[in-house]
Amino acid sequence: MFRLSHYMHELVAPSAPRRRRPGPVKPVVIWNLTRRCNLRCRHCYTTSADVAFPGELTHEQAMAVVEDLAGFRIPALILSGGEPLSRFDFFEIATRARAACRYLALSTNGTALVGETADRIADIGFDYVGISLDGIGAVNDRFRGKEGAFAEALAGVRACKARGIKVGLRFTMTRDNGAQLPEMLDLCAAEGIDKFYLSHLVYAGRGDKNRGEDAERERSRAAIAFLVERAWAAVEAGEPLEIVTGNNDADAVWFLRWAEERFAPERIAHLRAMLEAWGGNSAGLGVANIDPQGKVHPDTYWSGYTVGSVKDRPFTELWTG
């Protein structure tokens, strides 16, 4: 993930470089709790559907994973899916994870985030809830395979905001929805969204099957150029919206070239040092994935490569061994 707004703030007010602690890197863990999902999105890397998939972790196995991660003291845990809220013991897992993890996030389609469910999410104390929204109105509904999905997800956004939960939108850009990027950012402003995540299409799962729908190179470049200018306007205006991109670290190169035309050499040297320290894609280093069946991967898109299963050995042993 490329934290565009963060690096823009570094240009304005440079911070001291952080020193990495000695010893093995402890990763951010993205845990796909289940493949079950009430939507059928065209980009879904897990090829989820509203059915029961065999071989997923039992309750006892899942709780053992939480205890293991707690002892390892990972920096962050992201609960994802499928739709994580569709897992039968989601709230038990999340409650224990909240007590065990420094930073706990939820990645959801947002359609169930209303009423008592939203209350329970707030009570647990998630640090962040990311809701996938891939266009406005019918554009989103076609992409996500359900009429009314946009309205339901927007209701989830508003339920989170009403309960004081930090909430963001994740937008996967394709040739069909790319023209709505400005409208998505306008929606963020109108709803007081805390974070906007533009994701490039990843060729995994249905995203691979539908790769012909990927945004053309010219549209992708135009989108990043627009996003950089919009992010800079937000920084200059003191607006709190955080803008990030994902799954194409060349976005950082585009931003560096943009900055080189506008800032003094010493600021560019600082920015370059910060970008080099970040290092781009951190799959298998700063990021790890546990899939619904307990297999451990370098990240969520490396489903064809695994270092083992938490059904056989604890995550900490698989990661450090």
| Full residue range of the structural domain in which residue 201 is found | 4-12+26-320
- Please count the other Cβ atoms lying within 10 Å of the Cβ belonging to residue 125: 12
How high is the pLDDT of residue 16? 82
64 falls within a domain: yes
Q: In the chain, which stretches have pLDDT less than 70?
A: 19-23
Give the total residue count for the chain: 321
96 falls within a domain: yes
19 falls within a domain: no
How high is the pLDDT of residue 42? 94
User: For tokens 């470089």, what's the residue?
Assistant: 17
115 falls within a domain: yes
Q: Which residues contact 201 (CB under 8 A, 6 or more apart)?
A: 43, 172, 173, 174, 207, 211, 213, 214, 215, 247
If one counts the domains in the chain, the total is: 1
Phi, psi of 37 (to 5 degrees): -160, 145
Segment (H or E) for 104: strand 104-108
**CA 283, CA 300: separation in Å to the nearest integer?**
9
Percent of the chain at pLDDT > 90 equals: 96
Whether the Cβ atoms of residue 88 and residue 58 lie closer than 8 Å to each other: no
220 falls within a domain: yes
Task: State the CATH number of the domain containing residue 40.
Answer: 3.20.20.70
21 falls within a domain: no
204 falls within a domain: yes
285 falls within a domain: yes
Whether the Cβ atoms of residue 290 and residue 32 lie closer than 8 Å to each other: yes
Angle between helices 59-72 and 90-100 (to 10 degrees): 10
Six token digits for residue 178: 């790319």
